[in-house]
Amino acid sequence: MTTTASRPEPSAPSRGDFAPDFLWGCATSSYQIEGAGREDGRVESIWDRFAATPGNIKDGSNGSVACDHYHRWPEDFDIGRDMGLNAYRFSIAWPRIFSEVGGKPNEKGLDFYSRLVDGMLERGLQPWATLYHWDLPQYLQDRGGWNNRATVDAYLAFVDAVTRRLGDRVQHWITHNEPWCTAIIGNYEGWHAPGNTDFKTALQVAHHVLLSHGKAVPLIRANVAHARTGLALSLHPVRPASSQLEDIAATERHDGLRYRWFLDPLYGRGYPQAILETIGDAAPVVLPGDLEAIAVPTDFLGVNYYFPETIEHAPGHGPLSARVLPPAPGVETTYMGWEVAPQGLAELLLRIENDYRPGPMYVTENGSCYADEVGADGEIDDVERRHYLMRHLAALNAAIKDGVPVKGYFAWSLLDNFEWAEGYLKRFGLTYIDYASQQRRLKGSGKWYRSFLRGE
Ligand code: FCB
């Protein structure tokens, strides 16, 4: 890791450089913060099951307590309000809402999210609800999970129950967080739940996730007056490792799966033909009408951006013979080993705008992990994270000035939390969590965001 601590202060825009109605939020997700794993009727999720196998989570932990947000949410929302946020992105845990296929929704689970939404509104936080941020009920995985087309119907029952209950107060709905991760990391690379390692399964999962998105949009609109609906994709600018034709072709294949495989069908172009030819028998089963459903017009696109990817031709490496290289020595990286490239955010947003013109876009996640330390004075002086935030907001401002219609920014994350396979070893919060005491402390980066939002 190289550090930015010794670098000069980056220049950052001020809040006044953005539109007055720009949304300034933080994002979280249910399994990563809530805890209360067995309370009020919540059933097992695929992440509980996955975390129970030794070796899957680096520190052997799980989300059963996490930030105890289930009980401490008023304090967390006070932190968000005091920071000056006007929006908050959270996700709804499906295992709190349905404990079996075809059953009745769990009123206690719905009540919890109803209280949560009221708590946001009382504090001036516009609620942005994500319906699926990876915590599938385990009983559905036992029937094949997203590989089984019936999971689409179970999802629609969940979406129906949640939007009926919260739709009088929540206007903004994100159907899915990062379908690529659900499909590829969870079902091909296997280092996320449910831990499958089969490429054909992964592509069928991706198809069913996209289909469930397409079918959920009209349902949400039927249940929610003035609904605004979209999904959040994890996207990366890509670069070939060299100017050799082989690396350029490998980059196109990688990008074809990482970017076009999701965006093309969402915007009415079907799955990319070149990738279909490359993957052959691994192509998903697509029934008549599916592609039309997936291409339903949406109200916005959510973009999660963390880092760019460099790709090399690697014969036999995966189904596409393409490999993502780690950052070269000397390249600035975070504690995750991810390249720090603020310009990549602007590049990515401009590319999406040119390729698809998706309408309003929101940066639904962007943030950084560093090895935070609490100083003797109790302060967390996370200068690298503060710089990361400042530099990415500068790039965002430039993209907007170049004409990309971005209407909001959600920092990942309000709180340190359970970082999936990394457990609690990796911190992304603007607020530090002492997991032993559950004490919260605003980090230097969070204080900077507060000054920025207050126009100080
Ligand atoms: C994203 C996830 C989010 C968090 C960040 C660091 O891919 O959506 O839950 O883990 O990465």
Atom of ligand 1 nearest to the CA of 367: 6
CA angle (213 as vertex; 121, 296 as ends), nearest 5: 105
Tell me the whole-structure pTM to 2 decimals: 0.98
DSSP readout, 161-192?
HHHHHHTTT--EEEEEE-HHIIIIIIIII-SS
What confidence score (pLDDT) does residue 5 get? 53
What is the 181 CA–ligand 1 centroid distance (Å)?
9
What is the 417 CA–ligand 1 centroid distance (Å)?
10
Catalytic entry in 34, 365, 384, 419 = 365
Strands 361-365 and 301-304, sheet pairing: parallel
155-176: average pLDDT: 99
Strands (DSSP E) found in 336-455: 361-365, 406-412, 431-434, 439-442
385-408: average pLDDT: 98
pLDDT digits (tens, 9 = 90+) for 229-286: 999 999 999 999 999 999 999 999 999 999 999 999 999 999 999 999 999 999 999 9
Q: DSSP secondary-structure letter at 339?
A: B
Q: How confident is the model at residue 7 (pLDDT cuts 50, 70, 90)?
A: confident
Q: How far apart are CA 124 and CA 16, in angstroms?
A: 19
Q: Is the CB of 420 under 6 A from ligand 1?
A: yes
What confidence score (pLDDT) does residue 2 get? 44
pLDDT digits (tens, 9 = 90+) for 99-110: 999 999 999 999
Q: Which of 178, 185, 370, 415 is the best mutation target for the ligand 1 pocket, counting ligand atoms within 8 Å of the beta carbon and taking the most? A: 178
- In the predicted model, is pLDDT for residue 294 greater than 70? yes
pLDDT digits (tens, 9 = 90+) for 347-356: 999 999 999 9
What is the 305 CA–ligand 1 centroid distance (Å)?
10
What confidence score (pLDDT) does residue 8 get? 86
What is the 209 CA–ligand 1 centroid distance (Å)?
18
- Concerning whether 456 is annotated as a catalytic residue, the answer is no
Q: Which of 309, 365, 415 is the best mutation target for the ligand 1 pocket, counting ligand atoms within 8 Å of the beta carbon and taking the most? A: 365
Here the tokens at position 89 are 């992105």
Q: Are 430 and 441 in contact, with CB atoms under 8 Å apart?
A: no
DSSP readout, 363-394?
EEE----------TTS----HHHHHHHHHHHH
Other beta carbons less than 10 A from residue 362's beta carbon: 27
Q: Is the CB of 452 under 6 A from ligand 1?
A: no
Per-residue b/e over 94-120, b at no fewer than 16 CB within 10 Å?
bbbbbbeeeeebbeebbebbbebbebb
- Concerning whether 422 is annotated as a catalytic residue, the answer is no
43-70: average pLDDT: 98
Strand order in the sheet with 309-313: 238-240, 309-313, 322-325
What confidence score (pLDDT) does residue 4 get? 47
Catalytic entry in 34, 44, 178, 339 = 178
For residue 29, say if its preceding peptide bond is cis, omega within 30 degrees of 0.
Answer: no
- How far does the chain reach from its first CA to its final CA, in angstroms? 32
Mean pLDDT rounded to a whole number for the chain: 98
What is the 277 CA–ligand 1 centroid distance (Å)?
31
Q: Is the CB of 412 under 6 A from ligand 1?
A: yes
Q: Is the CB of 178 under 6 A from ligand 1?
A: yes
What confidence score (pLDDT) does residue 1 get? 43
